[in-house]
Structure 1
C-alpha cells in the first residue's frame, strides 16, 4: 500500500484522499523507517510538499538502495528543473504537483505495476491482531483505556491501528477524541456480502495521531440492525490492512459483542476495586472460560486502584485468578483530559495512566512499542463455521 510522509496532518489527509483504500500517513522520515521495518507489502512512498527538497531527495537516495522494490514519488508545490534532475538522479520514480490528483493516481499505478514486475503479485501475508477492551459493568473507564491504548499502539504512526466503537447504543469514542464523523458503522448495515477494504475505509474517521476510528451509530435505535455477521465481516476486513484493531465493546454479552470476542486475539479486562464490579468481572471470566475466549491472552487492568478502598491488587488476583497487568490510580487529570477531548497519552505523556497504557501496549505488541510523547524508538481467522458453532452453543 502507499505511504505518505509529511509533517502537516492536513496535507497527509488531502493526499490520502487521492489514494487507494488502506493507504497510510506518517509525520516524518524517522516514522517512515520504523513503518517500513515491519511492513513488507508497501510498494510506494509519497513524499509530501512540507518536507524540504533536500530531505526528500536524501530519502529517495536511501530507499533506492535499501528498498529497491519501493518507488518514491515527490508531491511538490513547485516543479522546477533543478529539483526534477536531483530527484531522478536520486532514484525518484515521479515528481507531481501535490494538488494534481490525476497525475498522482497515474504515478501510483506505475509504481504498483513496477512492484508486481519486480516482486510478483504474491506478497508476504499481512499479520494483524484484534484486541477487545471489555468490562461487564459500565462506568469503569473502559473507553478511556481503549482510546489511550489504541494511540499507544500506533507508535506515533509506525503502526496502522483502527479503533472500533462497538458500544452500538451509547458509544463515546468519537466524543472522547473530539471527532465529528460523517460516517459510522451504520452505513455498513445491509452490506454483509459486499464489504471490502475500500468500502470500510470510507467509513473511517482519522484522528490527528495516525489512528483510524470506526464510530458507533449516532442513535441507539440503530443497534438492533447491526448484525453479528456484519461485525465479523468488518473485523475481518480491517485485518487485511491494519496491524492492530482495538475494539471498545459494550458492557454486555450481547450477540454483537460475543461475535467480536470470537474474532479476538487478546482481551483487556477493565475493573474497578468495588465488590459489585469485581463480582461481575468474575462472572465474565467464567463466561470466557466456558466459551474458550482468549484463554491464554487475557490482561487485567485495575482502574481507580486506590489503597483506601480496602481491596488491593493481591485480593483481586485471588478473586479473579488473573495477574494484574496494569494499575491506574484515580486522577482528576484523566477526567479533565476526557472533557477536553485530548487523550491523556497525548496531552500528558508522563501521566501515570500514560505510562501504564504504554507498558500494556508493549505487552500486547510482544515487542518494544513506541510511545506518544516519549523518546523515539529505535529504527532499528478463525473460520465462519467455528464462530457460528460457538454462537449456536451459547443460545442453547
Structure 2
C-alpha cells in the first residue's frame, strides 16, 4: 500500500507509476489519518503542490513516530537547498514531479529500506519453511515465558538465524516486558487482515528486539484479547515460517482454541513443568490431552524447570508421574528473575550460567539437531 498526497487529478496520473495499491489523500492531515488507521503502511508520496514547509514538518514527525514509513517528495524544481532541507528532515527521496521513471525507482528503494528498518526478514527465496516451536505449561508460575524468551534468544544466535517469538498469552502476555520493547504494534492490529494474511501484513505486526530476533506481541488494552480469533493465529503461523528459521510460541497456562491452533502448526511441543505435585499433575493431564487429540509423541520434549529444588520429590517420583523422558533439567537461580527485571535474557546476559547452558544444550540437542519435518496436526474434528 502507498498513500499519495496530491490533488485528485494529479493523483490519478501518478498512481500507476507509484506501484502497488494506492490510496489518495488531498492533504497531509488526511494522509496522517490514513497512516494511523493502517500499521501496514510503509510509504507516503507527497505531491509537488503541497507546501514545502508543511511537507517537511510531516516528514520530521513521521521519522520519530513511524521510522519504517518512508516519504518521497515531489518538487517542480530540484535544487541543493531543497534537497538539503528534505534529507535533514527525514525525507528519503526528492524527485522532479515529471520524472516518472525516477519516481518508480524511488518508491521501490523506499519500500526496500522500510523492510530493513523494521528489522523483519523478507520471504525466503528458496521456499524453505522454518520450524514452529510451541512452549506450554498447564500451570502458571513454571517459568514458561522465561524459557520461551531464552530459547528464542539461543536459536537466534546473535543474528545467525532469524527467529520470531510469538506471545500467545493474549490477556496477560509478558514477552514485551521480558525483552523491554514497546508494544507499538501487536497482534490486535492484524484483525483487519483476517482471511488474507500475507508476508507484508505479518511483517507490519512485528517488533524488532535483538539481532535476528523479532516478536509478535500480545495486546495491551483490556478486552482486546477476546477480539482475537483462533483463525488469525492459524494464518499468522502459516505465514511466519516462510519468513523465519524458527517461530517460538509462548502460550497461556490453559488449553484454548488459540493454543490448539499453535499446537496444530508446530513441529515441536516443549512441555514445561516444575518438581511440585500440582505442576506434575497438570503435566500428566496435558500429556493425556495431547494423546486424546492424536498429536504425535515424537515431537514432544519435556523440560523440568528448577530441577534442583529440594521439595521432597525424587527424580524417580517425577518420572513415575510423567512416564516420559525428561529432555532438559534447568536449575533454579535467583539470577533468572534478575535477568527478567533487566529485560535481557539470561542466555545473553550470562551465557556461561548453568541455566543458560541447560537451555542452550536443550536447543542444540532437541531443536536444532532434529530433522525438519512437516508439522503434525491433531485429528480434531473441530477447527
Displacement of 1:313 in angstroms is 3.1
Displacement of 1:306 in angstroms is 2.3
Task: Report what 2:333 is aligned to.
Answer: 331
Displacement of 1:190 in angstroms is 3.8
- 1:285 paired to 2:287: yes
Runs of 4 or more consecutive aligned structure 1 residues displaced over 4 Å after TM superposition: 99-109
- How do 1:105-144 and structure 2 match up within 5 A? 105-106=108-109, 124-144=126-146
Query: TM-score, structure 1 length as denominator?
Result: 0.63
Query: TM-score, structure 2 length as denominator?
Result: 0.65
Task: Report what 1:71 is aligned to.
Answer: none
Retained in 1: the 8 A contact 2:176–2:183? yes
Task: Report what 1:392 is aligned to.
Answer: 382
Question: For 2:262, what is the secondary structure of its paired residue?
Answer: helix
Retained in 2: the 8 A contact 1:126–1:241? no
Retained in 2: the 8 A contact 1:267–1:294? no
Task: Report what 1:309 is aligned to.
Answer: 311
Displacement of 1:286 in angstroms is 0.4
Task: Report what 2:367 is aligned to.
Answer: 365
Note closer, same or farther for the CA distance 1:220–1:318 as it changes in structure 2 (3 Å cut). farther
Displacement of 1:100 in angstroms is 5.7
Displacement of 1:314 in angstroms is 3.2
Displacement of 1:218 in angstroms is 0.4
- For residues 293 and 106 of structure 2, the distance between their equivalents in structure 1, rounded to whole angstroms, comes to 52
Match of 2:193 among 191, 216, 223: 191
Note closer, same or farther for the CA distance 1:302–1:365 as it changes in structure 2 (3 Å cut). closer
Retained in 1: the 8 A contact 2:183–2:220? no
| Larger-Rg structure | 2
- How do 1:1-396 and structure 2 match up within 5 A? 105-106=108-109, 124-367=126-369, 390-392=380-382
Displacement of 1:256 in angstroms is 0.7
Displacement of 1:354 in angstroms is 0.7
When the two chains are superposed, the root-mean-square deviation of aligned CA atoms in Å is: 2.6
Note closer, same or farther for the CA distance 1:391–1:313 as it changes in structure 2 (3 Å cut). farther
- For residues 266 and 391 of structure 1, the distance between their equivalents in structure 2, rounded to whole angstroms, comes to 21
Deviation per CA, 1:96-151: give whole Å up to 9, x if none: xxx96666945998xxxxxxxxxxxx953312111000000111100000000001
Deviation per CA, 1:315-345: give whole Å up to 9, x if none: 2222111111111222111011111111101
- For residues 206 and 266 of structure 2, the distance between their equivalents in structure 1, rounded to whole angstroms, comes to 20
- For residues 165 and 107 of structure 1, the distance between their equivalents in structure 2, rounded to whole angstroms, comes to 30
Question: For 2:205, what is the secondary structure of its paired residue?
Answer: coil
Question: For 1:392, what is the secondary structure of its paired residue?
Answer: coil
5+ long unaligned stretches in structure 2: 1-90, 94-104, 113-123
- For residues 265 and 289 of structure 2, the distance between their equivalents in structure 1, rounded to whole angstroms, comes to 16
- For residues 196 and 320 of structure 2, the distance between their equivalents in structure 1, rounded to whole angstroms, comes to 47
Question: For 2:272, what is the secondary structure of its paired residue?
Answer: strand
5+ long unaligned stretches in structure 1: 1-98, 110-121, 369-380
- For residues 222 and 365 of structure 2, the distance between their equivalents in structure 1, rounded to whole angstroms, comes to 34
Question: For 2:329, what is the secondary structure of its paired residue?
Answer: strand
- For residues 279 and 184 of structure 2, the distance between their equivalents in structure 1, rounded to whole angstroms, comes to 35
